[in-house]
């Protein structure tokens, strides 16, 4: 299993830096899943996130706007209109 404490700390750092009140990160490594929650689902309700949390997004384009990168990989932008 991936180091949950490591990923939890990384998720918290990223969420704080981005001003995100809550997030859930899933990591698949060596055939095992690690899921770590951070923060709250809503600043209005203060309901904490869990590994099963589902977030509402304004739309598919905004949800897909940011692409995660693996270590050693160069970040790149995705053209969501390609192939239309």
pLDDT at 61: 56
Give the number of other CB atoms < 10 A from CB of residue 79: 8
pLDDT at 28: 86
Q: What's the whole-number average pLDDT of the chain?
A: 78
Q: How far is CA 17 from CA 11, 22, 37, in A?
A: 10, 12, 16
pLDDT above 80 (res 68): no
pLDDT at 7: 93
Q: How far is CA 36 from CA 16, 25, 40, 72, in A?
A: 15, 5, 13, 22
The predicted model scores a pTM of 0.63
Mean pLDDT value across residues 64-78: 52
pLDDT at 55: 78
């Amino acid at each position: 299993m991936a180091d949950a404490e490591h990923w939890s700390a990384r998720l918290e750092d990223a969420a704080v830096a981005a001003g995100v009140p809550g997030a859930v990160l899933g990591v698949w490594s060596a055939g095992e899943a690690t899921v770590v929650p951070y923060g709250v689902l809503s600043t209005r309700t203060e309901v904490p996130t869990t590994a099963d949390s589902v977030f509402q997004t304004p739309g598919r384009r905004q949800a897909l706007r940011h692409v995660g990168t693996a270590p050693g990989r160069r970040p790149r932008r995705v053209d969501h209109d390609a192939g239309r």
